[in-house]
């Protein structure tokens, strides 16, 4: 099976990792829109334009299913997108909400992008939510193990308050798991893991991973190598109008 996955940058690679772990015998085609990141501060019109271009690109690669590995697109456009396209499309929030409800989890907080928080998509299962606009730029610029990153994590945890569980409501945020765990005893919910438990795909074939990014840089290549351990091919692909 050919599985398409997309996000604004490297964050969706955390979802890709979970899918490869659960379904190691498929072909995965990933698109990271690094030219336009971060998505969490963009307008709805901009997000719609980006999502349409990427989905059409993945369809041109003959994928059988698409995973929106982006909390911002998932929370703001998923219902619209799944009605627009005939190909099966899965978001990251629906499996996460299902997991929380099925396991009767309480005292749940969420770290997410400004647009995801604004959408209210997780309001039915969370007690508190905090917008974390600093996280994606820190991750994409390779500043995970820095004082600046620690200070941002401590500040957001303080503002979130005591929670037994914290949803990492942007797929970039699992990259910060070790940093968050260093400053918090809350149990972290990885949306990629929720997706891999939820999705229903075959597991027959040979593993192949192709990563497309709309803008490549040395820093990006370095960051990708710290997340994806599976062999992959990487290409730059700017999507035209």
Selecting among 18, 70, 132, 149, the annotated active-site residue is 70
Selected residue with higher pLDDT from 142 and 156: 156
**Can you tell me the distance from the alpha carbon of 9 to that of 1, in angstroms, rounded to the nearest whole number?**
23
- With a pLDDT cut of 70, the percent of the chain lying above it is 100
Which domains does the chain possess?
2-91+194-236 (3.40.50.1860), 94-191 (3.40.50.1860)
Report the pLDDT value the prediction gives residue 36, as an integer from 0 to 100. Answer: 94
What DSSP element (H or E) covers 93? helix 93-102
Residue 208 has pLDDT above 80, yes or no: yes
With 90 as the cut, is the pLDDT of residue 35 above it? Answer: yes
State yes or no: pLDDT of 241 exceeds 80.
no
| pTM (2 d.p.) | 0.93
Which two tokens mark 241?
């109008």
For residue 124, with 0-12 CB atoms within 10 Å meaning exposed, 13-18 middle and 19 or more buried, which class applies?
A: exposed
Residues of the chain with pLDDT > 90, as a percent, come to 91
The distance from CA 126 to its chain's CA centroid, rounded to whole angstroms, is 19
Pair of tokens at residue 83 = 């009605």
Handedness of CA 139, 191, 188, 128 (dihedral sign): positive
Kindly name the residue from 18, 149, 163, 170 that is annotated as catalytic.
170
CB count within 10 Å of CB 222 equals 10
Per-residue confidence (pLDDT) for residue 229, from 0 to 100: 86
Q: Is 8 helix (H, G, I), strand (E, B) or coil?
A: coil
Confidence band, pLDDT 50/70/90 cuts, at residue 200: confident
Q: Is 170 a catalytic residue?
A: yes
Phi then psi for 239, rounded to 5 degrees? -90, 125
pLDDT digits (tens, 9 = 90+) for 75-128: 999 999 999 999 999 999 999 999 999 999 999 999 999 999 999 999 999 999
Is residue 132 annotated as a catalytic residue, yes or no? no
């Amino acid at each position: 099976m050919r599985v398409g996955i997309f996000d604004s940058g490297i964050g969706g690679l955390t979802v890709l990792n979970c899918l490869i772990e659960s379904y190691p015998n498929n072909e995965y085609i990933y698109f990271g829109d690094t030219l336009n990141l971060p998505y969490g501060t963009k307008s709805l019109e901009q997000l719609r334009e980006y999502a349409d271009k990427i989905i059409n690109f993945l369809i041109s690669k003959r994928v059988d299913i698409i995973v929106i590995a982006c909390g911002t697109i998932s929370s703001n456009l998923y219902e619209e997108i799944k009605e627009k396209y005939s190909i099966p499309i899965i978001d990251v929030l629906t499996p996460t909400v299902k997991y929380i409800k099925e396991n009767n989890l309480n005292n749940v907080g969420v770290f997410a992008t400004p647009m995801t928080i604004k959408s209210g998509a997780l309001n039915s299962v969370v007690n508190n939510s905090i917008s974390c606009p600093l996280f994606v730029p820190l991750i994409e610029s390779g500043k995970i193990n820095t004082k600046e990153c620690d200070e941002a994590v401590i500040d957001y945890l303080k503002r979130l308050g005591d929670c037994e569980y914290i949803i990492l409501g942007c797929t970039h945020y699992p990259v910060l798991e070790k940093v968050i765990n260093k400053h918090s005893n809350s149990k972290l919910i990885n949306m990629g893991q929720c997706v891999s438990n939820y999705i229903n795909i075959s597991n027959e074939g040979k593993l192949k991973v192709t990563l497309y990014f709309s803008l490549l840089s040395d820093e990006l290549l370095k960051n990708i190598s710290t997340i994806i351990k599976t062999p992959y091919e990487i290409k730059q692909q700017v999507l035209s109008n």
